[in-house]
Amino acid sequence: MTDEPIVDKKSLYDSDKIKVLEGLNAVRKRPSMYIGSTDINGLHHLVHEVVDNSIDEAMEGYCDRIDIILREDGSAKVIDNGRGIPVSVHPQYGRPGVEIVMTKLHAGGKFDSKSYKVSGGLHGVGVSVVNALSKWLEVEVRREGKLYRQIFERGKSTMDLEEIGQAKGSSGTTVTFMPDPEIFETTEFDFNILKRRMRELAFLNKGLRITLEDEKTGNKEEFHYEGGIKEFVEYLNEGKDYLHRSIIYFKDRMDGVHVEIAMQYLTESYTTRNIYPFANNIHTVEGGTHLTGFRAGLTNTLKKYAGQYNLSEDIDLTGDDFREGLTAIVNVKLPEPQFEGQTKMKLGNSDIRGIVQSIVGEQLMTFLEENPKIGEAIIEKALMAAKARRAARKAKELTRRKGLLESLDLPGKLADCSNPDPKKAELYIVEGDSAGGSAKQGRDRNFQAILPLRGKIINVEKARLDKMLENKEIRSIISALGTGFDEEFDADEVRYHKIIIMTDADVDGAHIRTLLFTFFYRYMRPIIERGYLYMAQPPLYKIRRGGAVKHVYNEKEKKELLDDWGTRGVSIQRYKGLGEMNPKELWETTMDPDNRILAQVTVDDAVEADRLFSILMGKDVQPRKEFIQENAKCATNIDV
């Protein structure tokens, strides 16, 4: 058998694809090139990669069920009822298909024409990458009534494929793998990270049933949505007031591209940035041609509709006016997607823009003509948005003229750092004056700046620009960051590449953190996308025995320490707030780069926080009740 991998010629279009020419050794040598990183994100990437293969089967109509099991021994098992990886001997290589798929980079494409397969970005690197980065991997294939098995260690087969019996039930593939501790910083899977992605995949692929089970904790979730992205919009808008009850939904196909859109307008939401674009199941957070096509289609169609029925009151309506309060999912599936941008999360295929735009033009117009009440309500809302925007712009002009947002005019409360290099500089946004005081004393003033928050932070979801800019706390954040705002916002101008939110570990702290997330998410999303936003993780307990003092950050660490130390003579202090730590303790536990734990905030974290927040704070009592019941356990963990 030669060592030359099978390569789809089409994927050799530029140098960053040259990696596919190397063998699996290259993957073990430079894992980050294939899975982004070897931290917790890279670890979960392994599961996503296997699941993506099952999803490919589902997209082609061969699979309607995927089960993911996190097992006691630390391995992960993914079971699908797809066609099963081919087992017949490949004529060119003289080895079974499944062995080639597992040991050669990008060996999927040669077998079939998986037209919607993801073949760019970090996804779609191939299941062989998972094999290369696993201490061991077992694959079972059910195909043509037979059951096959093969086992690998660190990417190398330890035995030939064997037929081990009759396949019970349908065809399919089961991949079980143990992430290699030689490669990964951590090998413990996080149920919640996987849960989020599995839910998203179930929304995007209607009818598909995905289960996720953690055998260690007994946690189990099932995701299955017959309504697909329609239910996704309902989920995102849960607890909010809508302009029209039923979700606007349409789908179409053009030139082999599937386009599917679900949308609903909210009444009390003024954001224009609630449009979520997906391409081949990837949340393209940087947008791309499908998003621009949707926006153009939406603006043109609604403008035309308003004109046709004389609804526009001679006001010049803009795209922003039509997007205000809109929640939408744009879901496209296309052959050979090109992912571009800083994080490869931007769809580049130029033909998609026109396709999406014309599908929206046709289908949305039909919908509006069939539902004139909804149509009129949307135009009315856009008119209100246009008027309010004018007023807000004037207010902003005024604020700017007064110089309130300029970084030259740094807020008085800010204790800035001396190093002017944004790459080195950190900004701590701290809840409360007393914690702010400790942080100022405890910090390394060379690279750490402190901004204490005193008053309430406004809920930016429910306020237009002018109201928001009246809020002192928001103004001081904007001027400390130096990025400018709204149309003048420029992420390149940011004065700190680490912006760290530091709040108490209680419900109020969680609330403030959510308000800040929402602010960054709504108005400075590139800050999150570039990975500049973090949460500090203060310790939960200080545990003392004799002269020894240890800080622990969660219940598990506490239990481990007490198992080690025993409980005799041991004193345990639970930190209720940051203010209880003196400056030295705050530095050592939460601010010292050598000791602290920082959690990077992702766009998905912000979306989820925002949703939970609406449910908790919205007018509806029922969802709040349900949420509290569902999360009773977590809630007590937050504030015992």
* Residue 431 among the catalytic residues: yes
3-state secondary structure (DSSP) of residue 390: helix
Q: Which residue's structure tokens are 């303790």?
A: 585
Nearest to 519 by CA among 475, 482, 455, 574: 475
Q: Which is nearer to ligand 0RA, 111 or 489 (CB)?
A: 111
Rounded to the nearest whole angstrom, what is the least distance from the CB of residue 109 to ligand 0RA in the complex?
8
* Residue 409 among the catalytic residues: no
127 binds ligand 0RA (CB under 6 A): yes
Q: Which is nearer to ligand 0RA, 175 or 210 (CB)?
A: 175
3-state secondary structure (DSSP) of residue 126: coil
Tell me which stretch binds ligand 0RA (CB under 6 A): 14-22, 81-89, 260-268, 311-319. 81-89
Tell me which stretch binds ligand 0RA (CB under 6 A): 50-58, 217-225, 268-276, 630-638. 50-58
Sequence-distant (6+) residues with CB within 8 A of 459 are 515, 518, 617
Q: Which is nearer to ligand 0RA, 88 or 192 (CB)?
A: 88
Tell me which stretch binds ligand 0RA (CB under 6 A): 24-32, 105-113, 350-358, 476-484. 105-113
Residues 174-233 that bind ligand 0RA (CB under 6 A): 175
Among 112, 421, 490, 508, binds ligand 0RA (CB under 6 A): 112
Which entry of 351, 508, 630, 639 is annotated as an active-site residue? 508
The answer to whether the Cα torsion of 273, 268, 304, 487 is positive or negative is negative
Which entry of 213, 431, 461, 529 is annotated as an active-site residue? 431
Which tokens hold the place of 206?
Answer: 């209607």
Rounded to the nearest whole angstrom, what is the least distance from the CB of residue 120 to ligand 0RA in the complex?
18
Q: Identify whether the C-beta of residue 68 lies closer than 8 Å to the C-beta of residue 51.
A: yes
Q: Which is nearer to ligand 0RA, 96 or 293 (CB)?
A: 96
Which entry of 99, 504, 529, 585 is annotated as an active-site residue? 504
Rounded to the nearest whole angstrom, what is the least distance from the CB of residue 173 to ligand 0RA in the complex?
4
86 binds ligand 0RA (CB under 6 A): yes
Crossing angle for the helix pair 40-59 and 191-204, to the nearest 10 degrees = 20
Which entry of 190, 380, 506, 626 is annotated as an active-site residue? 506
Instruction: Say if strands 346-347 and 287-288 run parallel, antiparallel, or are unpaired.
Output: parallel
Sequence-distant (6+) residues with CB within 8 A of 37 are none
Among 49, 57, 200, 324, binds ligand 0RA (CB under 6 A): 57
Q: Which is nearer to ligand 0RA, 127 or 275 (CB)?
A: 127
Q: Identify whether the C-beta of residue 220 lies closer than 8 Å to the C-beta of residue 337.
A: no
Q: Identify whether the C-beta of residue 5 lies closer than 8 Å to the C-beta of residue 107.
A: yes
Rounded to the nearest whole angstrom, what is the least distance from the CB of residue 26 to ligand 0RA in the complex?
21
Among 24, 38, 48, 54, binds ligand 0RA (CB under 6 A): 54
Nearest to 113 by CA among 63, 56, 186, 36: 56
Q: Residue 504 carries which side chain, given as an amino acid letter?
A: D
173 binds ligand 0RA (CB under 6 A): yes
Could you list the beta-strand ranges (E) of 18-64: none
504 binds ligand 0RA (CB under 6 A): no
Tell me which stretch binds ligand 0RA (CB under 6 A): 51-59, 287-295, 425-433, 484-492. 51-59
Q: How far is CA 289 from CA 160, 338, 347, 348, 401, in A?
A: 46, 10, 6, 6, 36
Tell me which stretch binds ligand 0RA (CB under 6 A): 76-84, 242-250, 337-345, 427-435. 76-84
**What span, in angstroms and rounded, lies between the C-alpha atoms of 485 and 396?**
10
For residue 57, the Cα-to-chain-centroid distance in whole angstroms is 23
Q: How far is CA 206 from CA 61, 69, 192, 198, 631, in A?
A: 11, 22, 21, 12, 26
Q: Which is nearer to ligand 0RA, 209 or 445 (CB)?
A: 209
DSSP state, residue 78 = E
Say how many residues touch ligand 0RA, by CB under 6 A.
16
Q: How far is CA 338 from CA 34, 288, 344, 359, 438, in A?
A: 17, 10, 9, 21, 49
Among 45, 47, 53, 471, binds ligand 0RA (CB under 6 A): 53
Q: Which residues contact ligand 0RA (rule: CB under 6 A)?
A: 50, 53-54, 57, 80, 82-83, 85-86, 101, 108, 111-112, 127, 173, 175
Active site residues: 431, 504, 506, 508
